[in-house]
Structure 1
Amino acid sequence: MILRIGYVREHFSTPLLQFAEQDAGKTFELVECPSGTGQLISRLTNDEIDVAIALTDALITGIAKGSKAYKLVGSYVSSPLNWAVITGTQSKYNSIADLKDTTIGISRYGSGSQVMAYVMAFQNSWPTDNLKFQVNNDIRGLINSVNDGSTSAFMWEWFTTKPFVDKGEARFIGSVPTPWQSWLIAAQSQTSAEAVTTFLSSLTKFVNDFNSEESRKTKNIPFIEEKFGYPKEDIEAWMKTVDYPSNLLEIPSSLFNHTLSILEKAGVVSPPSGGFQVDEFVNKNVVKLV
């Protein structure tokens, strides 16, 4: 079968794009999801994709809230994600503290942009019941909303947003790194475990090549420059912060309790009677807990 792989087209996806160029559609096809993790989860649920490479917190949140549509099948990025806090060029907001009790822009309900707003509130001791959101679908809608005043700010990955800030379309007023590894891989519950395992085993080779010291010094930078148009200095700065696992078919078991604990404190999820069970989150026919 040809797997439908949902992804967000940004620099983190570089190993996947390198794999796709070599595969040329023989074993999988890419399905771009520009709105982010909320859209990826929606497409998994609606049988529009088989596999999603998406943000850890939102994937775990979806399962914790009862979704049976997908299970976690692997790791993708092991380092935290640095979420920038962005406002309009002429807005009155100049720091994270200014955002309390305002309306935050998000891409979709359940997306990483919403989950991280809860984390930001938790870190600043804001009551999460007071959080207000406006859905703006994608990065362009989010930028428009902070400039027309319908939202105070939004959160998006730092280097993805930096070109818009450099062009004077928005302003950074802070950042909030995730308190967990940033990306996991999920698959529809009914998708062939053998097909997913084969795909992830092959992707692991491209990830390890991309993550090598040699590739970091040589081919990674021109590839990202060509695909995304980022300045070389931004790519070099990002490469110093990002790390990938050596085996995508493993997930640290400690990730679940740690992430769920923070999500509970931030008011994002509520545990069932008896607590969360890790086995409910993963497809053990594909991935190994370590």
Structure 2
Amino acid sequence: MPLRVGYVGEHFSSPLLQFAAADDGKTFTLVECPSGTGQLISRLTKDEIDVAMRVAALTDPLISGIANGSKAYKLVGSYVTTPLNWAVITGVNSKYQSIQDLEGTTFGISRYGSGSQTMAYVTALQQGWATDTLQFQVNNDIRGLIDSVNDGSTSAFMWEWFTTKPFADAGEVRFIGSVPTPWPSWLIAAHPSPERASPDALRVFLQTLSTYVTAFDAAEAREQRNVEFIKEKFGYPEEDIKAWLKTVGYPTDCAAIPAKVLTETLDVLEKAGVVKVPESRKFDLNDFVDTRVVKMV
């Protein structure tokens, strides 16, 4: 049975979409999850998908979920090696002019456990705010988030810069800052049950995905082929696509995860109050990865 691969339809997903077009459903099918990482994790839990990619799902919610006891998935690979730049977004006519103005206000998030929530904690940590005073309102998807900052029910929300820039260009929202993740952007997760996602199928999937990632990452592809693909698929302006391509990096092997990604992310998440260190004062990294599929380097 083909793997059910959950993803979010955005420019990061381009190599996966190129892979899916060539595969034509033989080894995997795509399940779009427009609400983001929280929805990906929810669908893994509910047996609606076998693999979560954003593309892949965001590093921080995946790691914090496992650290806080989730058994619905384990990490099986890497996807994007560079930090994700999160825009801090407010309403067109709101009173907020800077990140500093948001202390003590209500942030819009897509779902609890999502990257939009975790990055609000990271922002609070960077700004010196008390993380236990953060307030949240769930707005499900990008349209709900935009509506909430414009009707005043939330002060701001956080989302990837280039994904939301068209809304700012159209005058629907305003950017008042940005916060890069303190970790690489994307990891790949899969359900640990071999009946849902067999190690053999995952290894083949990751090996082939690596070839598409490598092709997409090639200098000559970045010059023109990638630009045309993203322009046609997502409708972004060419100058935005070229600017994004200058900032993004990919792994040479999707079936490898640097151990320092886990340790450094857990350190930041602990400081932000998102995870609690076990009584042993040390996380066992083997609890986070499926060693049948992926290697830690």
Mapped partners of 2:277, 2:114: distance in 1: 20
Which residue number in structure 2 is paired with residue 207 of structure 1? 213
What's the C-alpha RMSD, in Å, of the aligned pairs?
A: 0.5
Matched, 1:80 2:83: yes
> Which runs of structure 1 show a deviation greater than 4 angstroms over 4 or more consecutive aligned residues?
none
Q: Deviation digits for residues 197-216 of structure 1, max 9, x if unmatched?
A: 11111111000000010100
Given residue 137 of structure 2, which amino acid in structure 1 is its aligned partner? Answer: Q
1:217 aligns with 2:223: yes
Q: 1:261 aligns with which of 256, 259, 267?
A: 267
CA drift at 1:257: 1.1
Q: Match for 2:291: what amino acid?
A: K
The separation in 2 between residues aligned to 1:84 and 1:146, in whole angstroms, is: 14
Alignment of 1:66-215 (within 5 A): 66-190=69-193, 191-215=197-221
Equivalents in 2 of 1:108, 1:276: separation in Å? 26
Looking at structure 1, the residues matched to 266 and 85 of structure 2 have their Cα atoms a distance apart, in angstroms, of 19
Of 223, 237, 240, which residue of structure 1 is paired with 2:246?
A: 240
1:282 — aligned with what? 289
Q: Which runs of 5+ in 2 are unaligned?
A: none
Task: Indicate the SS of the match to 1:199.
Answer: helix
State the AA in 2 paired with 1:67. Answer: S
Q: Residue in 1 aligned with 2:276?
A: 270
Describe the SS at the equivalent of 1:6.
strand
Deviation of 1:272 after TM superposition, in Å, equals 1.2
**Cα deviation, residue 97, structure 1:** 0.2
* Residue number in structure 2 paired with 1:35: 35
Query: Deviation digits for residues 79-101 of structure 1, max 9, x if unmatched?
Result: 00000000000000000000000
Mapped partners of 1:276, 1:203: distance in 2: 29
CA distance in 1, matches of 2:91, 2:242: 27
How far did 1:244 drift?
0.3
| 2:52 counterpart residue number | 52
TM-score (norm. length: structure 1): 0.99
Structure 1 residue 175, shift from structure 2 partner = 0.2
2:266 alignment partner AA: L
Looking at structure 1, the residues matched to 26 and 198 of structure 2 have their Cα atoms a distance apart, in angstroms, of 17
How many angstroms does 1:60 deviate by?
0.3
Letter in 1 for 2:248: V
3-state SS, counterpart of residue 161 of structure 1 = helix
> Deviations for 1:88-120, whole angstroms, at most 9, x for unmatched residues?
000000000000000000000000000000000
> Shift of the alpha carbon at 1:260?
0.3
Distance 1:37 1:185 in 2: 11
Q: Secondary structure at the match of 1:218?
A: helix
User: 1:256: how far off?
Assistant: 1.1
- Aligned with 2:64: secondary structure? helix
Partners of 2:25 and 2:166 in 1: CA distance: 31
3-state SS of 1:137 partner = coil
In structure 2, what residue type is equivalent to 1:14?
S
SS of structure 2 residue aligned to 1:273: coil
* Corresponding residue of 1:6: 6
Q: Distance in 2 between matches of 1:59 and 1:131?
A: 21
Deviations 1:179-233, CA, capped at 9 Å, x for gaps: 0000000000102011111111111100000001010012100000011000000
Distance 2:21 2:247 in 1: 25
